[in-house]
Amino acid sequence: MPSEEKVAQLSWIEKKVATALFGTPPTSTIYEALQNFLKAEEIHPGYSKYNYVYLAKCYKELGQRTNALKYCDSALSVLSVTKEDKEAEKDLEALLLSLKL
């Protein structure tokens, strides 16, 4: 199942293909994804480096660079222990580069 952030960024044709495959088009907005990632952080603060990365991505998409950088900093503060953390590091590096352009 794709994350809400990814669903919100699907093109028109990708949504049509998903509709053909799954019967109903996936729907979500960046704002909805942001709210869910914020809720996850509220319930269990600092539990996931990826959650911080997704928060930063959502804020970037919403044009809120300062908030995006804030959550990048939060992601940097989480030690990379698991395989998922190490994958999040790669996404974080790319995100930081795009925010500094």
pLDDT digits (tens, 9 = 90+) for 75-94: 999 998 889 989 999 999 99
Report the pLDDT value the prediction gives residue 57, as an integer from 0 to 100: 94
Report the pLDDT value the prediction gives residue 11, as an integer from 0 to 100: 59
> If you ran DSSP here, which 8-state letter would residue 78 be given?
S
Report the pLDDT value the prediction gives residue 17, as an integer from 0 to 100: 58
SS3 content of the chain, % helix, strand, coil (to 5): 75, 0, 25
> If you ran DSSP here, which 8-state letter would residue 24 be given?
S
Give CA 92 to chain center in angstroms. Answer: 10
* Torsion sign (Cα): 36, 88, 65, 71: positive
**AA letter at 67:** N
Phi then psi dihedrals of residue 41, to 5 deg: -65, -35
Which residues of the chain have a pLDDT value below 70?
1-27
Inter-residue contact 10 to 28 (CB < 8 Å): no
**CATH code for the part of the protein at 30-100:** 1.25.40
Report the pLDDT value the prediction gives residue 29, as an integer from 0 to 100: 86
Report the pLDDT value the prediction gives residue 1, as an integer from 0 to 100: 40
- Domain residue ranges of the chain, discontinuous segments joined by +: 30-100
The pTM score is 0.74
Interatomic CA distance for residues 57 and 84, integer angstroms: 17
Residue with tokens 């222990």: 81
